Amino acid sequence: MILNTDSTKPIYIQIAEWLEVEILNGNFKEDERVYSQYQLADMFTINPATAAKGLNLLAEEHIVYKRRGLGMFVSPNAKQAILTKRRKQILEQMIKELVIEAKRLDVDEAELIEMIKNVRKEGEEEQL
């Protein structure tokens, strides 16, 4: 992953989101140690304090937990917590924007739903 330094999204949030994706992809399992703040700082060429802030954000959300002297580990049910959070925050925002744009383009509800179904079907076929 390459951090987007031009983004309005803070680097520590990008780090936290990257780690969430790593957990969702199965690269880190429950109770498995994740990268330390120093490893993350080295990987992304950032300040260790920024990396720590990203890890602490995940700890506040109970996605990772700290074992004193050992580092941060993936919390039990972290994957489900991430899925729930992302559905709520990301998908709902994208859907709101999609509905607003559909209204601007005079696309009615039935047509929009059909478009979504077609795109989803195409995505499923590509995964085969």
Q: Give me the helices (H) in the chain, please.
A: 11-24, 37-44, 48-60, 78-86, 92-104, 109-127
Within the chain, which residues score under 50 in pLDDT?
none
pLDDT given for residue 58 in this prediction: 97
pLDDT given for residue 123 in this prediction: 83
Prediction pTM value:
0.74
- Between CA 52 and CA 62 the distance in angstroms is 15
pLDDT given for residue 21 in this prediction: 95
CA distances from 93 to 19, 51, 72, 74, 87 (A): 21, 26, 30, 27, 9
pLDDT given for residue 30 in this prediction: 96
pLDDT given for residue 5 in this prediction: 72
Cβ atoms of 12 and 41 closer than 8 Å? no
pLDDT given for residue 112 in this prediction: 95
pLDDT given for residue 98 in this prediction: 94
pLDDT given for residue 124 in this prediction: 81
pLDDT given for residue 1 in this prediction: 63
Q: Which domains does the chain have, with CATH numbers?
A: 11-76 (1.10.10.10), 81-127 (no CATH)
